[in-house]
Amino acid sequence: MSRPIMGGALTPVIIFDQAGTPLGMTGTPFMFLPEPVSGYVGDVSAPASNTAATVTYAAVAGQRHVITGFAVSYYGGIPTGGNVMVTSDGVIIFNLDIAEEGAGEIIFPAPKSGGVNAALVITLTAGGAGITGKLNILNHWTEVA
């Protein structure tokens, strides 16, 4: 279910389906925000310096893993061979080189999903001596295939 966010000075009328789910609104501009996704300790990897940061979602029978993006950072200098990669059962579904120190995020306009019955692995490579990398998955869930 979503939560409506309203703007403008008109009195809105929210339209619901029989289950109580909001379908739309009249009288004002609106958008629906998705329900919050629970955080999970496994969505974050912050290892020691010069160590790859990896988040692995184990295969789930009959399901696929989905992510909407991630935030990454390298601190301590410019990374040597900096890269972030998403794989599903060894197949690369996203691969990006990172050549600067600092933080950034990648948000997929359409969520990326792994294969059915497949693990999903997101890896930020080790940045080099004295460089610390961190990886945070922004949203993750599983879908029944």
Which CATH number is 125's domain given?
2.60.120
Identify the pLDDT of residue 7.
47
Domain containing 98 equals 41-144
Interatomic CA distance for residues 69 and 55, integer angstroms: 13
Residues in the chain predicted with pLDDT less than 50, given as ranges, are 1-9
Report yes or no: 42 and 122 within 8 Å, Cβ to Cβ: no
> Which pLDDT score, from 0 to 100, does residue 26 have?
55
Q: Residue 40's pLDDT is what?
A: 77
What is the structure's pLDDT at 4? 46
One domain, residues 19 and 79: no
Measure Cα distances from 39 to 22, 125, 139, 140 in Å: 25, 23, 8, 9
The pLDDT value recorded for residue 145 is 84
Residues 80 and 127 in one domain: yes
**Residues 48, 6 share a domain:** no
Q: Are strands 63-75 and 102-113 parallel, antiparallel or unpaired?
A: antiparallel
d(CA 51, CA 47): 6
118 and 54, same domain (yes or no): yes
In the chain, the number of structural domains is: 2
